[in-house]
Structure 1
Amino acid sequence: MNLLDLRSLGTFVEDLVMGDTIQISRPAGPPVLNPATGDLEDPAPDIVYEGPGAILDSSAAPGITVPVAGQPYQDNPKTTYRLLTPTDAPVAARDDTVRVLRAAQDPALLGRTWRCTQPGLAATVIAVRVTWLDENNPREGTP
């Protein structure tokens, strides 16, 4: 039995598109009372992943996936951003936060954050991991 091996395609996409350094973080727990201020404060988040990735908006080719012949594939029409990471990166969870630490091409990515709207995709046939995002702090004039 021969399995379709997409590692070389994944490496090609990583080299071609994943020039940014991204960080995926996850809440470390519930808010904690700060006795000095009396305010509830979020603990520092856990860093789940820091490494190569790419943020794609709706102008990028929809659904960078390899469909199985005859099987329908529907993009998420409500979310305009997608995160691409290598398949060996941890799978992002719903509500994880994505931040761009280094932008290879577009400096407007820096300072923006996105929330993962669902867990990162995992599949038998996969070249790169795709995670749907919703921007936390859109700037004026952006979708």
Structure 2
Amino acid sequence: MQGLDDALRGVVGWIGENLLIDTVRITLPPTGEPVFNEDTGELEYPDGDVLYEGPGGVQGSSAQAEIVATPDRNLPWTSETTSRYRLFTPLSAPIAQKDAVVTVVGVHDTTRTGLIGRSWIVTDPGRAGTVEVVRITPLDQLRTEVTP
């Protein structure tokens, strides 16, 4: 349908200019064994390959229903939660695989530099539909420091 295709192109352009305004990096999970760093005394994992770095945005969910408790079988209480986030990237960006790491590497608003370096893990590949204007990828916030 020509009319629908024209309208969707307009929406894709608007989203690119108004939503995909920060810079995100998607890194594949590292595959090598950790190496002991004698200077720091810690094990360091090799960097994963960069799958994508470019325009994007991360949005957290404000719905309480989307925060799911994850019980630990060794504890009588819930120790962590699953924090639902969404990654927005252009349709031209590659589809991130499960367990890839998403990091914010640049922000459009200088008051939000605290987001730089913050990381999430891809919980499922990007969602797909018959009518799309932006790629949406489900994320969970990493609570341990990962440096892709």
Query: In the alignment, is residue 55 of structure 1 matched against residue 64 of structure 2?
Result: no
| 3-state SS of 1:56 partner | strand
Give the Cα–Cα distance (whole angstroms) in 1 for the partners of residues 53 and 103 of structure 2: 9
Q: Could you tell me which of 70, 95, 101 is aligned with 1:97?
A: 101
Check whether the contact 1:24–1:97 (CA below 8 A) recurs between aligned residues: yes
Q: Which residue of 1 aligns with 2:91?
A: 87
Q: Which residue of 2 aligns with 1:114?
A: 120
The normalised TM-score by structure 1 is 0.72
CA deviation after TM superposition for structure 1 residue 80, in Å: 2.6
The normalised TM-score by structure 2 is 0.70
Gaps of at least 5 residues in structure 1 are: 63-75, 139-143
Where does structure 1 differ by over 3 angstroms across 4 or more consecutive aligned residues? none
Q: Which residue of 2 aligns with 1:132?
A: 138
The more displaced of 47-56 and 79-88 is 79-88
Q: Which residue of 2 aligns with 1:73?
A: none
What per-residue deviation string (whole Å, max 9, x for no partner) do you get for residues 52-72 of structure 1? Answer: 00011124xx9xxxxxxxxxx
| Paired amino acid for 1:77 | E
Give the Cα–Cα distance (whole angstroms) in 2 for the partners of residues 57 and 101 of structure 1: 17
What per-residue deviation string (whole Å, max 9, x for no partner) do you get for residues 67-110 of structure 1? Answer: xxxxxxxxx93443111000000001111100111011222211
| 3-state SS of 2:17 partner | helix
Q: Percent identity?
A: 38
- Aligned CA RMSD, in angstroms, stands at 2.8
Map 1:19-34 to 2 at 5 A. Answer: 19-31=21-33
CA deviation after TM superposition for structure 1 residue 33, in Å: 5.5
Give the Cα–Cα distance (whole angstroms) in 1 for the partners of residues 32 and 128 of structure 2: 28
